[in-house]
Chains A and B, each alone.
Chain A
Amino acid sequence: KQEVTQIPAALSVPEGENLVLNCSFTDSAIYNLQWFRQDPGKGLTSLLLIQSSQREQTSGRLNASLDKSSGRSTLYIAASQPGDSATYLCAGSGNTGKLIFGQGTTLQVKP
């Protein structure tokens, strides 16, 4: 059974800092890994999707990597801004296609 864990649960950084959010999964038979952002009381915004055959994806200041052998994915945010403050969720898709979510990392970027 796939389990997804995110560390840390919460993170507070000053504006401009580069940061890394971690996601680990127990089943290496993962089809893809998706990173989402969620603002309080809102829906999820898809940030990046990494297919199992890929190692990383980039979008603007965001870079996500996937290492199936170690069961890890990281989301790198460069030059963080107060507008980046949100909860970040990673989710893995296994052979059923069902998304299994981690508990999320709540990020606060202070001006």
Chain B
Amino acid sequence: DTEVTQTPKHLVMGMTNKKSLKCEQHMGHRAMYWYKQKAKKPPELMFVYSYEKLSINESVPSRFSPECPNSSLLNLHLHALQPEDSALYLCASSQGDSWDTQYFGPGTRLTVL
């Protein structure tokens, strides 16, 4: 089983809302990632968690707050977003470090009004 699941599939929120994106994997992977992908562009790395600790933060604005409650779950908390934050948010996981094959979830399509 190489499945990474993400919820919700779609999310529409206002600029004053607080929402969360969720990601789950049961492959025993110890590294998990958040990517942001704008239309017709490649994914851009936002955060990396390795063994449940934040190891990479690509200078992402503080309105995005990641959380890794345990080795299977990864959340992305959203607050006071801007319309330009509308994008497909992808979660991925890998066996150990970033050199291993990364498996991606289907993504959450976020629209900020």
Residues of A within 8 A of B (CB): 31-32, 34, 36, 41-46, 49, 89, 91, 93, 96-99, 101-104
Contacts and interface: CB of A to CB of B under 8 A. Distances in A.
B101 A34 contact: yes
Contact of A99 (B88, B102, B105, B109): B102
Contacts, number: 53
Interface in B63-113: 88, 90, 92, 97-107, 109
A42 B41 CA distance: 13
B90 A43 contact: yes
B56 interface: yes
B98 A93 contact: yes
9 contacts: A32-B99, A41-B107, A43-B105, A44-B43, A49-B101, A89-B42, A98-B56, A99-B45, A99-B98
Interface of B: 4, 6, 41-45, 48, 56, 88, 90, 92, 97-107, 109
A43 B104 contact: yes
Contact of A45 (B6, B42, B48, B104): B104
Contacts of A103: 41-42
B107 A101 contact: no
Contacts of B97: 97
Contacts of B104: 36, 43-46
Nearest to B31: A97
Given A34-B101, A97-B97, 20 more contacts: A31-B99, A32-B99, A34-B102, A41-B107, A41-B109, A43-B6, A43-B90, A43-B106, A44-B90, A45-B104, A49-B100, A49-B101, A96-B56, A97-B98, A99-B98, A101-B42, A101-B43, A102-B42, A103-B41, A104-B42
Contacts of A42: 106-107
A93 B43 contact: no
Contacts of B103: 46
Given A98-B45, A98-B56, A93 B99 contact: yes
